[in-house]
Structure formats: C-alpha cells, structure tokens
C-alpha cells in the first residue's frame, strides 16, 4: 500500500472546509464561482457524496481567498469554526476524550483525516511539551504559509478552550515577523504569542521564517488534567465508526520523518536510501520533490535546522552540545552549516528567539 500522497491526488474527502470558505466569501460579496476559479471545482461539487479535493486545488483556493478577499480575519474565523464541525465521528470522539493527552493520541492516529496539510513534531523539555508544525505536502509562498499558521493556531486554541472551558498557559510562536493585522491576534488569542523578531535592522531571512514552523508549548501537567465532561465508551464508539483506510501522509511529511528516523538511530541518511524506502529511484524522488517546491537537501537541512534552533533557544544548549547532538564532525562545520541554513550565526539566533 502506498503510504504517501502527492499534491495532484484528490485525497481530501470532507467538503466542510471548502464550504465554510465559500460561505465566508459570499458574506463579503464574492461569488462562489469567482472564489473557485482555477480550482476545477464548482459549487454543486461541494454537496456530492464523492467530493474530493487535492492539495493543488486547495492551494489555488487559498490563493483566491487572499487575492479576492483582502480581509485578514478569514483564517481566524475559519479556525474558530472548524472544531468539531468538519471532523465527523473523529470530532465526536475528541469531544469525549478524557484530557489533552487523550485528544493528542486520537489526533496522531487520524492526522490525515483531521488536518493533512501540516504535521507536528513533538518534543519534551523541563516539564514542558512542545509542538512544532510543518507543511506536509508542498512548500508554498509566504501568503499561504501565514494563512495556514493562523488557521491552524486558531483551530487548536478554539478546540482547547472549548474542551477545557478556560484559558490555559499555552504559548505560541509564529514563524514570521509581526503582521499589520495584529488586532486579529489580540482578539483570538488570549494566550501569550510572539513572532519571529527583527535583529537590529536585520529581519530574520525568509528561509528561517518558512522553516522554523509554527510552535506551541504548554506545561506538561496540563496535558493530563481531566476534562469536566468525557465518556470513554462514547469515544470508543465513535472511533469504531471511523472508516479505516490506510494511513497516508503528504510526501514532504513522509520524507522529513524518514530522515528523522534515520538520524535518531544514528544511521547514515542519503537520497538513495530515502528513495529506496519510497520504492522509487533517486531520480524520481528528486523530480517528485521538485514538483512540490522543495528538494531532499532542503528537507535534510530543515530537519537539522529545526533541531538546532530548538536546542539552542529552548533547551539552552551551547554550540558544542548542539554540534555533537546533530553528529557534526567539528564545531566549525556546524557553524558553517548553520549559517548556510539560516543566514545567521547560532548566537544571533539565540539572541533573536
């Protein structure tokens, strides 16, 4: 069974997200046909039982939203309305989870059905839990990148607030500099949030902004704090109703996680080994990744870069410790690679983040 999908494959079968986008556009005077232009979708497709949409179509739809509706509240509104509306049986199961840890377990098992556009990398440090989200299928421009970060953050915060009935100590770091529409963040996020900062007169380069990933962190003890209402029998019932298709993820997520598995096991990782894992030739893997606006080297650098930035800024490791953890032969080689990844030195990143 194929364990990854590509941008042209129509694998997203829930129309709720698209319907909500169309409705939000109509409320702002944008005709559905205009919003759906170039997506090869029509309004009557949204109510068909066999509805399916690809990443290419979704990216075009988000591009139309940004182009035709020049109002920054759309991703925030959308995220606050999605849970649990678009999740069907999985949403009902999440509504009966016992705590955040229980919800996370369900989400990990059903990622491709909940939010296949981005995936999470989970980390623990000093009684804190960190979640770093990256794009799973394609690497798009900054407009799409920011829209999806705002959408996902709004969806997560809305879901947590709805289940806990309180404001938890969650911290959010957005991987871009502060936007002009800061009032939307103030309205939707009571939690502490921050942006990728300026370093003097120098802005953190685009490669860092697009590769840092959206990051959320919270105290470890919150994860197991029981919800006031939950029912394990009802949760299991709804999970049993979920269609059990093979677990498939976006090609970027698959390659990224394969790289991570090799490095975690202290194994040498190469393009040829990853291609063999995907049952394709190295040349085919190169072509596939290029079609998704990235490359094997970019994803390898992304993994190492994110590990290094987390260890430097959150764990407080010094350069020697990070170089050792990432299996660099010497400190000079690590510093040179870090400068190539980010355009900055490790110390400049620590100062900024």
Three-state SS for 215-283 is EEEEEHHHHHCCCCCCCHHHHHHHHHHCCCCCCCEEHHHHHHHHHHHHHHCCCCCCHHHHHHHCCCCHH
Structure token digits, residue 25? 């556009």
Assess contact for 288 and 251: CB atoms under 8 A: yes
Mean pLDDT taken over the chain:
89
- The pLDDT, as a whole number, for residue 198 is 55
pLDDT digits (tens, 9 = 90+) for 35-91: 999 999 999 999 998 999 999 999 999 999 999 998 899 999 999 988 776 778 888
- The pLDDT, as a whole number, for residue 351 is 80
Among 271, 291, 285, 203, residue whose Cα is nearest residue 9: 291
- The pLDDT, as a whole number, for residue 241 is 86
Distance CA 78, CA 158 (A): 10
Residue 281 — very low, low, confident or very high, per pLDDT cuts 50/70/90? very high
Distance CA 38, CA 210 (A): 26
- The pLDDT, as a whole number, for residue 24 is 92
Higher pLDDT, 119 or 349: 119
Q: What percent of the chain has pLDDT over 90?
A: 66
Among 317, 307, 316, 296, residue whose Cα is nearest residue 338: 307
Among 234, 206, 245, residue whose Cα is nearest residue 52: 245
pLDDT digits (tens, 9 = 90+) for 306-340: 999 999 988 999 999 999 888 888 899 999 999 98
Distance CA 94, CA 109 (A): 12
Residue 121's DSSP bridge partners are 132
- The pLDDT, as a whole number, for residue 209 is 43
Mean pLDDT value of segment 262-281: 91
Assess contact for 115 and 44: CB atoms under 8 A: no
- The pLDDT, as a whole number, for residue 2 is 62
Structure token digits, residue 108? 């990990």
- The pLDDT, as a whole number, for residue 325 is 86
Higher pLDDT, 330 or 154: 154
Among the ranges given (18-32, 40-54, 109-123), the one the predictor scored with the smallest mean pLDDT:
109-123
Give me the helix-helix angle, 251-264 and 282-291, nearest 10°. 130
Mean pLDDT value of segment 235-256: 86
Higher pLDDT, 201 or 231: 231
Among the ranges given (141-155, 175-189, 241-255), the one the predictor scored with the smallest mean pLDDT:
241-255
pLDDT digits (tens, 9 = 90+) for 174-212: 999 899 899 999 999 987 899 986 544 444 444 444 456
């Amino acid at each position: 069974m194929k364990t990854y999908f590509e941008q042209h494959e129509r694998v997203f079968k829930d129309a709720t997200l698209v319907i909500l986008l169309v409705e939000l556009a109509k409320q702002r005077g944008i005709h559905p046909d205009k919003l759906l232009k170039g997506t090869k979708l029509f309004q009557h497709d949204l109510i068909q039982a066999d509805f399916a949409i690809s990443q290419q179509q979704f990216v075009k739809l988000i591009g139309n939203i940004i182009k035709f509706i020049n109002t920054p509240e759309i991703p925030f509104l959308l995220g606050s309305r999605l849970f649990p509306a678009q999740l069907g049986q999985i949403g009902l199961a999440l509504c009966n989870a016992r705590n955040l840890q229980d919800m996370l377990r369900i989400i990990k098992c059903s990622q491709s059905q909940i939010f296949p556009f981005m995936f999470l990398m989970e980390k623990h440090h000093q009684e804190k839990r960190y979640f770093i989200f990256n794009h799973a299928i394609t690497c798009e421009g900054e407009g799409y990148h920011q829209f999806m970060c705002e959408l996902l953050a709004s969806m997560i915060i809305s879901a947590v607030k709805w289940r806990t009935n309180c404001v938890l100590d969650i911290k959010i770091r957005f991987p871009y500099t502060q936007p002009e529409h800061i009032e939307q963040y103030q309205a939707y996020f009571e939690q502490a949030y921050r942006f990728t900062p300026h370093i003097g007169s120098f802005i953190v380069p685009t490669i860092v902004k697009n590769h840092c990933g959206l990051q959320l962190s919270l105290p470890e003890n919150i994860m197991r704090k029981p919800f006031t209402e939950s029912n394990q029998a009802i949760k299991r019932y709804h999970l049993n109703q979920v269609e059990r298709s093979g677990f498939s993820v976006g090609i970027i997520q698959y390659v990224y996680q394969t790289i991570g598995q090799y490095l975690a096991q202290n194994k040498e990782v190469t393009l040829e080994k990853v291609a063999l894992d995907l049952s394709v030739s190295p040349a085919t893997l190169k072509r596939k990744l290029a079609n998704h606006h990235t490359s094997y080297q970019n994803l390898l650098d992304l993994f190492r870069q994110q590990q290094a930035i987390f260890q430097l800024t959150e764990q407080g490791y010094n350069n020697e410790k990070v170089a050792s953890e990432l299996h660099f032969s010497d400190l000079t080689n690590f510093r040179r690679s870090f400068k190539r990844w980010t355009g900055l030195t490790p110390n400049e990143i620590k100062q900024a983040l």
